[in-house]
């Protein structure tokens, strides 16, 4: 038998306000991450955290709008949200065990059921969150109610607060990911959410003013990030090496600009923001590449925003 294929993909958590989505996201990632940029929706997906294992990479993203109560309860889901949902591999639908399944949950359930039934649509894993707050009978009833709501791939009770079944949930979600390569560099991103933020700041700076020409055609990956050795505390400097992947040579030219002028501006703008974020001086090394490797798999490309 050959060794099992590498899997990778995207997941997002949805559910009514206060359902426990943030707490569960943090528990899944195993550390408190706060990659909230304060500027929602400047990128297509806000990465909340990445779980990298030797054979899998799971990227948890925020769903624009869906975690906002008013959008969710009041209106039909807008196209952006539906598109985002359709693009992820797994949706984790959170329903708090201490609340009865209500109209808000039913509304979301219906939208999710539609997305899940689409051809090659995402799998939906339904979670009874905050399981620690109720007794066994109540929990059992809640699970049955959830099961009746839609075509969920799994239904599982979890307590993020007590760590109950968090690992089991992670395993279920990972089990639903398609085969695919590792999309983000190793380990450090889980430990250093700053790297994700840095990538987003660079992406934002690089798209400034050329959004129309590069719609979703730019993926940014922080390759290396570390303190420059041999410097004293007063003169700390963080070296950051970043790759910007574009689809075509023409787009590379747009990003770089005449004689590199645009890339220098992008670098300087991004550097200022990164310095503000990290509180350290930064040497930012930007490389623009045409992403041949990423082009082989159209599904991966669209997930990455290409």
Annotated binding residue at 65?
yes
Q: Which of 73, 107, 132, 305 binds ligand GTP (CB under 6 A)?
A: 132
Per the annotation, does 22 bind a ligand?
A: yes
Is residue 138 a contact residue for ligand GTP (CB under 6 A)?
A: no
23 binds ligand GTP (CB under 6 A): yes
Binds ligand GTP by CB under 6 A, chosen from 6, 161, 216, 269: 161
Q: Is 62 annotated as a binding residue?
A: yes
User: At which residue do the structure tokens 């639908």 appear?
Assistant: 93
Residue 48 as a binder of ligand GTP (CB under 6 A): the answer is no
Closer to ligand GTP by Cβ: residue 70 or 119 = 70
Smaller CB separation from ligand GTP, 60 or 207 = 60
Give me 171's structure tokens: 């395993």
Could you tell me how many residues make up the chain?
A: 306
- By C-beta, is 17 or 40 nearer to ligand GTP? 17
CB atoms within 10 A of CB 175: 14
Q: Integer distance in angstroms from the first to the last C-alpha of the chain?
A: 35
Half-sphere exposure of 131 (CA within 13 A, CB side): 22
**Does the annotation flag 138 for ligand binding?**
no
> Of 11-19, 82-90, 168-176, 225-233, which segment contacts ligand GTP by CB under 6 A?
11-19
Ligand-binding annotation for 132, yes or no, is yes
Q: 7, 14, 22, 108: which one contacts ligand GTP (CB under 6 A)?
A: 22
Q: Which residues are near ligand GTP by CB under 6 A?
A: 15, 17-23, 67, 129-130, 132-133, 159-161
């Amino acid at each position: 038998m050959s060794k099992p294929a590498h899997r990778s993909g995207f997941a997002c958590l949805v559910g009514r306000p206060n359902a426990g989505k943030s707490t569960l996201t943090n528990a899944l990632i195993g550390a408190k991450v706060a990659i909230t940029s304060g500027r929602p929706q400047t990128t297509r997906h806000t990465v909340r955290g990445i779980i990298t294992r030797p054979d899998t990479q799971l990227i948890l993203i925020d769903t624009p709008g869906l975690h906002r109560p008013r959008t969710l309860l009041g209106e039909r889901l807008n196209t952006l949200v539906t598109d985002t949902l359709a693009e992820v591999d797994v949706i984790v639908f959170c329903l708090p065990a201490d609340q009865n399944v209500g109209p808000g949950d039913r509304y979301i359930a219906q939208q999710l059921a539609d997305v899940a039934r689409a051809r090659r649509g995402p799998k939906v894993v339904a979670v009874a969150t905050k399981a620690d707050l109720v007794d066994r009978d109540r929990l059992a009833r809640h699970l049955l109610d959830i099961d009746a709501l839609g075509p969920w791939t799994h239904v599982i009770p979890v307590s993020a607060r007590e760590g109950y079944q968090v690992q089991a949930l992670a395993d279920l979600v990972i089990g639903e990911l398609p085969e695919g390569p590792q999309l983000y560099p190793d380990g450090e991103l889980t430990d250093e959410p700053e790297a994700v933020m840095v990538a987003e700041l660079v992406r934002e700076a690089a798209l400034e003013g050329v959004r129309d020409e590069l719609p979703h055609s730019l993926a940014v990956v922080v390759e290396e990030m570390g303190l420059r050795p041999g410097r004293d505390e007063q003169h700390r400097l963080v070296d950051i090496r970043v790759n910007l992947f574009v689809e075509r040579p023409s787009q590379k030219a747009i990003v770089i600009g005449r004689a590199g002028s645009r890339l220098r501006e992008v670098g300087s703008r991004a550097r200022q923001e990164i310095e503000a974020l990290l509180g350290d001086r930064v040497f930012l090394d930007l490389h623009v590449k045409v992403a041949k490797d990423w082009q082989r798999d159209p599904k991966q490309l669209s997930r990455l925003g290409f």
